[in-house]
Amino acid sequence: MASASANTTSKILLPTGIWETSAKASRVATDDATIGDDGAGDPSVKAESAALPANKRGRKGHAKSRRGCFNCKRARIKCKENRPSCDYCAHRNLICKWPGIHVQLGTPTFTPAPPPSPRSSSIPKVVFFEGPKINTQDFKLFHHFIESAYPHQPIQSDSVWKHEIPSISSNHDYLLHGMLALAAFDLAEHYPDSSKQLYYSAISHRVQAIKSLKAAISSGLNTFEQGNAMLATCSTLIFQSAFIDDGLTEFMAFLRGTVAVGIQMGMSRMHILFENLFGDKDVEIKDSAMKLAALVNPVLVGAALRSLEKIRPLCKSGVEIEVYGLLLSTARSLVTSSRDGYMELRKVYAAFSYTMQQTNFQEFISPANKVCQLLQAHFLALQLTMTPVAKTEPEGHRKGTTKDGVTARWFASLHRDIPEELKEYYEWTLWVEYEVKQNRVFNGVVKTEMEEVFQ
């Protein structure tokens, strides 16, 4: 990769259409919400009296770092506040630890009054902190995100999600709204009685996150913190897509956005907090567990292969043939090895995440391309049958709180208004949707009386 100074503004070129949202989402309105740390404090040390001789004056006091690390506070020096390790700690190989997150609710701060005048009093002037403000519901959502609703990927990134990301959210509206939206979606999924209100709140925060992120990206990527805030926001938007009926297209688009931001950070030599976000480190960590994964039910695999073989003559364009080949290779690999099938599925993700040209990607997600819609349905059905494999994680890794088979809601838009001449090609994907709704397919179990249909 070409390199550039980290201080140089980097323009991020993202695929068009990534930041579009549904019309119904834009109609929902809610209070703006931001979260942050305490405001700036008073100077820590006053200068000695000006009457003292210059050679007897005390040393100038250090500037306090309200949001600095504990080591800098202990050394009474100003912390540079760069994460994950400040300059002072990095130079001395110290463990850089930070104060906890504080939520500020319009707390007033006091500043010294100007010199008295005949028309003024000596009472200190009260200046209200105009920083982050949140309402009660948003505070609960923020807490829920940190406790359990943060994304469970990349692997071994729990500490980043629980500490570093929340600590910078007050500086980036798009990140904060992305966090609140994901927390609201997660709560709506687990508490049906309050789901309607929570869903509206989630959509509203999602719209604000996308709008704010789009504006930030248009201004360019300037700092390490900003880049990581953008990556974290894209991750929250990706995970939110699982809760939206027509979220498959946005899911794929935000994956491309994540890669685009990561590339720009790499070119500017910016450190990425999520160490396992790119590359194959996650595969290395999961490999031993993947080798022990059980085979997917052969009835499911056989049905997938027959359905894919049936649609082969429909694939004409380059992108159709490319995606078809990747799906067929994935299904064939599942016959003998769940691990091999998982590795082939990663190639499908790689295709629409970064290897596919933008024009081909636009063709692939276009609702007007009926063959690509059919391929998307097969991708989704194949992935759902592989859920037991994809969920294989090393011991001790936190699993997501999302219910199994939640992405089956993406079938809603794919199976809507199927052309009469293509219905026979959707037979298998319609069956998978039905079985998932009955809580069966994603657990590797097939309803006994249905097995004969695909044998």
Concatenate the DSSP letters of all residues of 26-47 into one string.
Answer: HT----------------SSPP
Q: Which of 252, 174, 251 is nearest to 214 (CA)?
A: 174
Which pLDDT does position 4 carry in this prediction?
A: 40
* Of residues 175 and 402, more confidently modeled: 175
What φ, ψ does residue 109 adopt, rounded to 5°?
-120, 155
- Higher-pLDDT residue of 185 and 68 is 185
Whether the pLDDT of residue 111 is over 50: the answer is no
Please state the φ and ψ torsions of residue 178, each to the nearest 5 degrees: -65, -40
pLDDT at site 167: 94
Contact criterion met (CB below 8 Å) for 145 and 183: yes
User: What's the mean pLDDT in 194-217?
Assistant: 93
pLDDT of 113 > 50? The answer is no
pLDDT band at 260 (very low <50, low <70, confident <90, very high): very high
pLDDT of residue 24: 39
pLDDT reading at 310 higher than 50: yes
Burial class (CB in 10 A: 0-12, 13-18, 19+), 339: buried
pTM of the full structure:
0.69
Q: What is the pLDDT of residue 393?
A: 58
Contact status, residue 296 vs residue 386, Cβ threshold 8 Å: yes
Give CA–CA dist 274/251, Å, rounded: 19
- The ranges assigned to domains in the chain are 23-37+133-267, 289-454
Residue 394: per-residue pLDDT: 55
Q: How far is CA 325 from the centre of its chain?
A: 29
Average pLDDT over residues 60-88: 73
Check if the beta carbon of residue 287 is closer than 8 Å to that of residue 343: no
Say how far apart CA 284 and CA 315 lie, in whole Å.
35
Number of neighbouring beta carbons within 10 Å of residue 9: 12
Q: For the ranges 227-236, 267-276, 370-379, 393-402, which has the lowest average pLDDT?
A: 393-402
Q: How confident is the model at residue 142 (pLDDT cuts 50, 70, 90)?
A: very high
Q: What are phi and psi of 157, to 5 degrees?
A: -120, 20
pLDDT of 32 reads: 38
Percent of the chain residues topping a pLDDT of 90: 46
- Res 363: pLDDT: 96
DSSP 251-319: HHHHHHHHHHHHHHHHHTTPPPS-TTSSSSHHHHHHHHHHHTPPPPPHHHHHHHHHHHHHHGGG--SHH
User: Strand, helix or coil at 341?
Assistant: helix
For residue 143, the one-letter residue type is H
> Can you tell me the distance from the alpha carbon of 122 to that of 247, in angstroms, rounded to the nearest whole number?
60
Place of tokens 């500037």: 63
